[in-house]
Structure 1
Amino acid sequence: MAFETISENIKGVSTKTQDYIESMAEYYKLLLFKSTMKGAISLVNLLIFGSIFLFVLLFISIAAAFLIGNELGKVSYGFFIVGAFYGIILLLLFIFGRPLIEKNLLIKFSKLLYDENDLTPKEAAEEELNSYSETLTNEKKLS
């Protein structure tokens, strides 16, 4: 009789372990899907808003170049000045901007991929163990 109880408990542990492994695999699949979808949505948003921003910037730059060129008497001077302005901005970004851009991107994407609501594997395992303990307690009460 004791041997049967031990045998049943071992089968129960084996079953619960299998269930736990399957649950964790599903959890990681869902977490990967969620992270992938958030990344894809962010990329699409970046492409759409970035494209619109570039068109706006292009037309404002052309308008500014014509305005400056007309004031100076030659339209080409306006384009040279606007081009030099963007060249200086690009040079400053190469010198000073790389660490700032990398830091901001890392912060933004880590917030995007890792929610505060997501369970860590340790928390998920603790919840699974608590559930298993409750199951064992309920089985003991029934027998």
Structure 2
Amino acid sequence: MAFKMLTENLSESGTKLQEYIKNSAEYYKLRLFKHAMKLSTSLINMLVLGGIFMLFLMFFSFGIAMWLGRILDSMLFGFFIVAGVYLLVFLLILFFGKKHIDKAILSKFSELVVEDIEKEEHMFDDDVSFEDFNEKKLPNENEIP
């Protein structure tokens, strides 16, 4: 009789282990999907906002170039001055700002991942410990028929 109970408990443990593995795989698939969606929505937002800002910058640059052209009596000089300013900004970013931009991007995306991990950790912060869980879920020796 004890052997029969042991085999039943072992087979039940095997099915529970299979369910646990299946649920864990599904959980990690959902977690991966969640992180991929956050990344893609962040990238899409940056592209949309960046595109709108580029349109603004383009029209603003044309306006400044034309205004400088009228002041200097040569549209060509106005456009060359604006292009020179952009070249100067590009070179400054290339030589001095690349590390800062990389750091800002990494910190932003790391912040998204860390926030998710902290939220997941706090989901499991309740008053029940692992030992309490085991004591409540597993039958003791007196309960086995």
Instruction: After TM superposition, list the pairs within 5 Å mapping 1:35-114 onto structure 2.
Output: 35-114=35-114
Between the aligned partners of 2:133 and 2:15, the Cα distance in structure 1 is 11
Computed over aligned residues only, the root mean square deviation of the Cα atoms, in angstroms, reads 2.7
Q: CA deviation at 1:80?
A: 0.8
Query: What residue number does 2:137 align with?
Result: 135
User: What percentage of residue pairs aligned between the two structures are identical?
Assistant: 41
Q: CA deviation at 1:107?
A: 1.1
Question: CA 1:36–1:14 in 2, change beyond 3 Å: closer, same or farther?
Answer: same
Q: CA deviation at 1:112?
A: 2.5
Question: CA 1:137–1:101 in 2, change beyond 3 Å: closer, same or farther?
Answer: farther
Letter in 1 for 2:22: E
Between the aligned partners of 1:35 and 1:12, the Cα distance in structure 2 is 34
Choose 16-25 or 3-12, whichever is displaced more: 3-12
3-state SS, counterpart of residue 118 of structure 1:
helix
Normalised by the length of structure 1, the TM-score is 0.82
Choose 73-82 or 84-93, whichever is displaced more: 73-82
Between the aligned partners of 2:100 and 2:131, the Cα distance in structure 1 is 44
3-state SS, counterpart of residue 48 of structure 1:
helix
- Size of the alignment, in residue pairs? 137
Query: What residue number does 2:119 align with?
Result: 117
Choose 68-77 or 53-62, whichever is displaced more: 68-77
Q: CA deviation at 1:132?
A: 6.8
- Is the 1:69–1:76 contact (alpha carbons within 8 Å) kept by the matching residues of 2? yes
Between the aligned partners of 1:130 and 1:22, the Cα distance in structure 2 is 24
Deviations 1:19-74 (A, max 9, x none): 11011101101001111111121122112111110000000011111111211221
- Unpaired runs of 5+ residues, structure 1, are none
Of structures 1 and 2, the one with the larger relative CO (CA 8 A, separation 6+) is: 1
Normalised by the length of structure 2, the TM-score is 0.81
Query: What residue number does 2:34 align with?
Result: 34
